[in-house]
Structure 1
């Protein structure tokens, strides 16, 4: 259906660059990866992680054993928080430098992965800071080799060139994208994800769905991005309820991890636009806000806005969660309401007011979309021009349930 809208004379980039080991038991590949690092002359690595999941899942034991077997020392930085900050990235990089680290192993979800990627850039670019990296003061062309052990199924950061961090003093949460940020190897082992709490399971899966919706509808999209987006949404629709019912269902975790991987590659090709650009100010202002929840509260309004310009694509990829769409502009509200109803069905009914946002916050949020580095690029990819008035409307509509 959407094929008719493709301009075959417009050249697109198709990107797949990271080797990802996907499957139960993939963590055992850590020995091979450590061997490869040793062959490259790596004698010390910086391990970037946070919380305690790196230990609870057993991932840390595998890393220690593999590195010891191949004569690699580890400097452990385990202070990364959700929505990582440039200050913590600087701390991690300093620890790595002090210990002669020449590679980075990231263990965790999107926050430790993005922080680790960023620290890898700083290790390869002495004298630079994370704030300089995230304000665009320099554009790196090199980073220390990056290895990812992914503990969630949402961000797709284990297979793409993106990272995100918050500059706390400015309430900025920019994204960066550089070729050197592609991980060398990544591990997606469903057994490491079985202990994800129910809320986090929902939020990270919703993140993957948002990646898909945006990547498939941006000005930069291509047929590959659309194909992957549709499959991601199909898999999440099928397997998220199973993972909620039985958190230890490794088949469900496998396909959710695969879905998130597809979405990560999809937006590596198609980029992102409205939903992520408008969520970043939310979690920059309120760092305790889960990224996936922020996205969930905004996406129905975004779908309603962009549907007329992207109806054939959205009708096709949303079919698993909003069946029966015909791909005509007039059904924009029905599509948005359908997305909202699906979110409610997976126990994420919240709106912005439930998280403490009100009318008085809208002007500041709109301002942050205009001033935060990198968000202008995301907004320029939107299929409908991202004027401040439209951004304001999305925030306002997202305060309450759609009529």
Structure 2
């Protein structure tokens, strides 16, 4: 039996952003706090959102202090800013960092609870302020998930926080906001959403609903990611990637992610590698290591992505999948940790800690092949070069 959780309202399609005032009013919301970062603030997107709201008579304030890989300190600053106004909801505007920040700010508010006390395995289901998510990247799927990631700067740990409290009430998914994304960001977020879909499908917690979302996401992402990277203005490819990212988010929010995510979070925390890029660094290696424990499931992924026919054996299909993941990393210029510039000595020094943090997140336990600490350490060492 599976419990399925989705945003109450999803507005999706080109121009959906224009409906933001309408969806807020329909939910009885009129005093939002907008949470975003300096890039969105300077891009013209924030000004557009503020103008839309002001034109509808909706009074909004904006917090622009979001940092990449949001920290406890940055979210605490957002909570303090929230407390200075009379807000009835929080809008996350941007990529994964602003949306994740908005989630924590909405849930924590002025509550006397430390963020680290909210990390998994704790489940936070008591609702905070309503969350409205407006993604400007096709990648994290955070607009449809009951998770947020906050970094503890004191321990360099990316803390997974889970529960229904983090599930947005409203998602406004407008692919036109992604038309100006540069190729590197398009590639990294696109592979991130592909990893969401594949891990949701092979996860031990997969179910028929999440399976349908995951397979559809794979079809959309794999075919359209190269097109969007080569031609950023390709509207059909951008729309497909946005839908694929949303479906991938729905899929893993209603099943789970697995070993790739468990191992990628410590890389991001310790070496400040973008989340999608650290996923991409690990995806071919971890897929090859995990696949023997779930050949039919990984073969389904290969077939959904158009890499193998129904007549080909599962073993053959999985071989094509691993080869294709290695090839797309090469085509999209995904570096190894070594090529990224991470020092070998520092990497080796942190491998045991990163393995402990990966296991503590709980994600590796959902993997088809569940690793022990020494196996994760070995995989980190193999991934380096």
Which residue in 2 is equivalent to 1:393? Answer: 378
Give the stretch that moved more between structures: 366-375 or 260-269.
366-375
TM superposition shift of 1:389:
2.0
TM superposition shift of 1:328:
3.6
Which residue in 1 is equivalent to 2:351? Answer: 365
1:294 paired residue among 263, 270, 278: 278
The answer to whether the 8 A contact 2:180-2:232 is kept is: yes
1:69 paired residue among 52, 56, 78: 56
**CA distance change for structure 1 residues 335 and 249 in 2, over 3 Å: closer, same or farther?**
closer
What whole-Å deviation, never above 9, does each CA across 1:247-267 have from its counterpart, x for those lacking one?
Answer: 122221111000000100110
Instruction: Provide runs of 4+ in structure 1 moved above 6 Å.
Output: 135-138
Counterparts of 1:373 and 1:398, CA distance in 2: 17
The answer to whether the 8 A contact 1:152-1:204 is kept is: yes
The answer to whether the 8 A contact 1:293-1:348 is kept is: no
Which residue in 2 is equivalent to 1:33? Answer: 23
Counterparts of 1:100 and 1:137, CA distance in 2: 29
Which residue in 2 is equivalent to 1:101? Answer: 87
Counterparts of 1:297 and 1:110, CA distance in 2: 19
2:210 paired residue among 220, 225, 228: 225
**CA distance change for structure 1 residues 113 and 232 in 2, over 3 Å: closer, same or farther?**
same
**CA distance change for structure 1 residues 94 and 28 in 2, over 3 Å: closer, same or farther?**
same
Give the stretch that moved more between structures: 330-339 or 213-222.
330-339
TM superposition shift of 1:66:
1.8
The answer to whether the 8 A contact 2:264-2:278 is kept is: yes
1:13 and 2:6 are equivalent in the alignment: no
TM superposition shift of 1:58:
3.1
Counterparts of 2:306 and 2:349, CA distance in 1: 33
Counterparts of 1:239 and 1:355, CA distance in 2: 26
Which residue in 2 is equivalent to 1:7? Answer: none
Counterparts of 1:167 and 1:105, CA distance in 2: 23
**CA distance change for structure 1 residues 99 and 67 in 2, over 3 Å: closer, same or farther?**
same
Superposition pairs for residues 248-397 of structure 1, below 5 Å? 248-287=233-272, 289-319=273-303, 320=305, 322-323=307-308, 326-329=312-315, 335-345=321-331, 347-357=332-342, 359-360=344-345, 361-362=347-348, 364-371=350-357, 375=361, 377-397=362-382
Counterparts of 2:245 and 2:100, CA distance in 1: 16
TM superposition shift of 1:57:
4.6
- Gaps in structure 1 of 5+ consecutive residues: 1-10
The answer to whether the 8 A contact 1:87-1:130 is kept is: no
**CA distance change for structure 1 residues 335 and 52 in 2, over 3 Å: closer, same or farther?**
closer
**CA distance change for structure 1 residues 242 and 391 in 2, over 3 Å: closer, same or farther?**
same
The answer to whether the 8 A contact 1:105-1:146 is kept is: yes
Give the stretch that moved more between structures: 125-134 or 236-245.
125-134
Counterparts of 2:220 and 2:44, CA distance in 1: 24
Superposition pairs for residues 209-220 of structure 1, below 5 Å? 209-220=194-205
What whole-Å deviation, never above 9, does each CA across 1:327-349 have from its counterpart, x for those lacking one?
Answer: 5458755542331112223x134
The CA RMSD measured in Å over matched residues stands at 2.3
